[in-house]
Structures are given as C-alpha cells and as structure tokens.
C-alpha cells in the first residue's frame, strides 16, 4: 500500500529498513525526520556513508578498525602499549569498551566474532592462527580472554585456550575477565548464574 508515498520517500524508507532492528515504522520516522530537516543533514549523512568503506581499514595485526591511511592500529604501535599483554575480544567495538575503562595499557586482538555453529561461524573464520603467530612473534606473556559472557563467548575462549596449549606455547598466563555482580545491582534481583559466579570468585578483603 506504500505506493501512495512519493517514490524517493518510500525508497529511503526501504533503505533505512535494512538497518539492524529497524522496522517499517522506525524507518518511516527516520525518513520523515530527514525530510523535515534541511537538505544539509541528508547531505552530511549521505557523505559519511559514501566515504565509509574507502576511509576505514582493518589493522593487519590486531584486526581493530584503523584509518585507511594508517598501516597498523595506534593501539598496537604506540610506544606506551605493552605488546606482551593481549586482550582477545570478539568485535572491533569491544576494543572501544575496554579502552573506555582507561585501565588497560596492553594491546588487542579482534577475533571477528565468536564460534557459533548455529550462525555458521566456525573457528576457521576467526583470527585465531594470527593470534598464535603474534604470541610467538611478540613474546606475549599474558592473554586476556575478553570474549562475551555468553555461551558462544565461553566456547570461543575455551577453544583458544586449547589452541595455545596445542601450539606448545609455555610460560603464558591465560586469564579471563572476572565474573560477578555488575556495578549498582541489587542482590535480590541478580540471576542465579551471576550470583554463583560472584560467590565462587569471592575475594579476601
């Protein structure tokens, strides 16, 4: 029934509709917003989209996002980053989350996802061989498995741990992020698994 809308408008609605989690209603709202605002706003978003792929690259060492004119991620090449400590994360935006804590001065390794047979993602699609190479080359002392706290994230962490052991790499600490109560939470509303983890991982004061 959408053919009563002008073609340019319904095309934009369709194009917004491909974004993740955006249904017909939300796409309409976005398109209407764009239409009501000045042309410059449309131009700016269009311009950013046009140059996205050409201007964003992937770091060949860490697989984090880099500017297309950089060779290696500054999070790897900077002098103040400790190359012997590597946080292994699933997605490029996870790097951002860890960086935002301001507590980490090591480097990153982006896997490009997690092992998930149901989504057709096997270990061969992740940057695991490159991680093993890096451990040897940079004489890595600690691998922090910072995958998501999901079934997929846990299996991926386990798989990587096995791969490191199989590669005969010794004297490497393999750690993972602590499990426990998230900040600000009410004990009574905490799920059982989280609380079990918090109990098991309790620390001396």
Shortest distance in whole angstroms from residue 23 CB to its own copies: 12
**Single residue of 52, 188, 199, 205 touching its own copies by CB under 8 A:** 52
Report d(CA 133, CA 169) in Å as an integer.
11
- Scanning residues 71 to 130, which ones bind its own copies (CB under 8 A)? 74-75, 91-93, 95-96, 99-100, 102
Q: Does 158 bind its own copies (CB under 8 A)?
A: no
Position of tokens 């509709």? 17
**Single residue of 23, 60, 63, 67 touching its own copies by CB under 8 A:** 67
Q: ∠ CA(154), CA(111), CA(61), 5° rounding?
A: 145
Q: Please identify, using beta-carbon distances, which residue of 97 and 193 lies nearer to its own copies.
A: 97
Q: How far is CA 170 from CA 76, 121, 142, 173, in A?
A: 23, 28, 11, 9
Q: Please identify, using beta-carbon distances, which residue of 93 and 136 lies nearer to its own copies.
A: 93
Q: Does 193 bind its own copies (CB under 8 A)?
A: no
Q: Does 31 bind its own copies (CB under 8 A)?
A: yes
Q: Please identify, using beta-carbon distances, which residue of 45 and 181 lies nearer to its own copies.
A: 45
Q: Does 140 bind its own copies (CB under 8 A)?
A: no
31: helix, coil or strand? helix
Q: What are phi and psi of 175, to 5 degrees?
A: -120, 165
Q: Which residues contact 48 (CB under 8 A, 6 or more apart)?
A: none
- Scanning residues 5 to 24, which ones bind its own copies (CB under 8 A)? 5-9, 11-12, 15-16, 18-21
Q: Bridge partners of 121? A: 116
Closest by Cα among 84, 138, 77 to 106: 84
- How many helices and strands, by DSSP H and E, does the chain display? 8, 6
Q: Does 157 bind its own copies (CB under 8 A)?
A: no
Size of the site for its own copies (CB under 8 A): 57
Residues that bind its own copies (CB under 8 A): 1-2, 4-9, 11-12, 15-16, 18-21, 26, 28-35, 39, 41-57, 65-68, 74-75, 91-93, 95-96, 99-100, 102
């Amino acid at each position: 029934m959408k053919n009563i809308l002008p073609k340019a408008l319904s095309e934009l609605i369709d194009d917004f509709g491909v974004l993740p989690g955006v249904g017909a209603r939300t796409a309409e709202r976005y398109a209407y917003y764009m239409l009501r605002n000045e042309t410059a706003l449309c131009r700016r978003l269009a311009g950013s989209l046009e140059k996205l792929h050409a201007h964003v690259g992937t770091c060949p060492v860490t697989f984090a996002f880099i500017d297309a004119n950089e060779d290696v991620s500054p999070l790897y090449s900077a002098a103040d980053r400790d190359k012997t400590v590597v946080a292994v994360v699933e997605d490029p935006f996870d790097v951002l989350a860890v960086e935002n804590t301001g507590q980490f001065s090591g480097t990153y390794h982006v896997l490009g996802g997690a092992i998930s047979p149901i989504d057709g993602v096997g270990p061969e699609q992740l940057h695991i061989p490159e991680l093993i190479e890096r451990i040897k080359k940079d004489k890595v002392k600690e691998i922090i498995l910072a995958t998501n706290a999901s079934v997929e994230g846990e299996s991926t962490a386990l798989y990587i741990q096995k791969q490191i052991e199989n590669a005969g790499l010794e004297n490497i600490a393999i750690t993972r992020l602590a499990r426990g109560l998230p900040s600000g939470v009410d004990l009574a509303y905490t799920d059982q698994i989280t609380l079990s983890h918090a109990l098991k991982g309790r620390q001396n004061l």
